[in-house]
């Protein structure tokens, strides 16, 4: 990062990858803003979770979110060379989800502080997924990205349940 501010967005536009200017309310910018929010929630979780494996896996998810944001900010017709590990992470999430015994009924957040934060991250992941499906109507979103967010909310649900059972 060369500098914190550029003043180039003071009139309501911002840049996509390659310098293409778009309105700040462009769905790609909204999606990346919500992914950034999710990443911040995951940082809170990672700093609070005592299980090193869970913490490490959340860090892997956070790294993937940064790669996904790069892809979302790449204009149509331009190739993004940054690799995605979404499908690999989806596989790992599916393993972790399968290892968790489902709850017997509805889960109401609030058992403890950490599980409540995990539920907020889960809801944020679901919001990202919905925004990405809307974005997909205007600009192509890779299927592995939408699958990743669908599975991420499921994984976060099971992580919250796991934390509630501790």
Q: Contact, 38 vs 121, CB < 8 A? A: yes
The domains of the chain are located at 27-100+107-165
The 10 Å CB-count burial string (b at 16+, else e) for 47-64 is: eebeeeebeebbeebbeb
Q: What is the CATH number of domain 27-100+107-165?
A: 1.20.1200.10
Instruction: Please give the average pLDDT of every successive group of 10 residues along the chain, which has 166 residues.
Output: 77 89 95 98 97 97 98 93 96 97 91 96 98 97 97 98 92
Q: Where are the alpha helices (DSSP H) in the chain?
A: 27-48, 52-72, 86-98, 113-138, 143-165
Q: How far apart are CA 135 and CA 159, in angstroms?
A: 28
Say what the pTM is: 0.94
Q: What is the model's pLDDT at position 1?
A: 61
Contact 153, 122 (CB under 8 A): yes
Residue 146's pLDDT is: 97
> Tell me, what's the pLDDT at 45?
97
Confidence (pLDDT) at 4: 81
Pairing label, strands 13-15, 21-23:
antiparallel
Determine the pLDDT at residue 94.
Answer: 98
CB atoms within 10 A of CB 152: 26
Long-range pairs for 59-67 at CB < 8 Å and ≥24 separation? 60/85, 60/89, 61/89, 61/152, 64/89, 64/148, 65/35, 65/38, 65/39, 66/39
Do residues 82 and 54 lie in contact, with contact meaning Cβ atoms separated by under 8 Å? no
């Amino acid at each position: 990062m060369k500098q914190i501010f550029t003043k180039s967005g003071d009139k309501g536009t911002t840049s996509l990858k390659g310098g293409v200017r778009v309105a700040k309310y462009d769905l790609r910018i909204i999606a990346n803003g919500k992914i950034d929010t999710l990443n911040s929630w995951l940082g809170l979780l990672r700093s609070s979770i005592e299980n090193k494996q869970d913490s490490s896996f959340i860090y892997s998810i956070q790294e993937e979110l940064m790669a996904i944001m790069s892809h979302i900010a790449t204009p149509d017709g331009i190739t993004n060379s940054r690799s995605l590990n979404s499908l690999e992470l989806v596989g790992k999430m599916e393993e972790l989800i399968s290892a968790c015994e489902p709850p017997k009924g509805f889960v109401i957040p609030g058992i403890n502080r950490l599980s409540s934060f995990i539920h907020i991250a889960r809801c944020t992941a679901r919001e990202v997924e919905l925004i990405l499906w809307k974005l997909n109507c205007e600009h192509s979103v890779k299927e592995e990205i939408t699958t990743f967010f669908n599975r991420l909310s499921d994984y976060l649900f099971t992580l919250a349940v796991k934390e509630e059972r501790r």
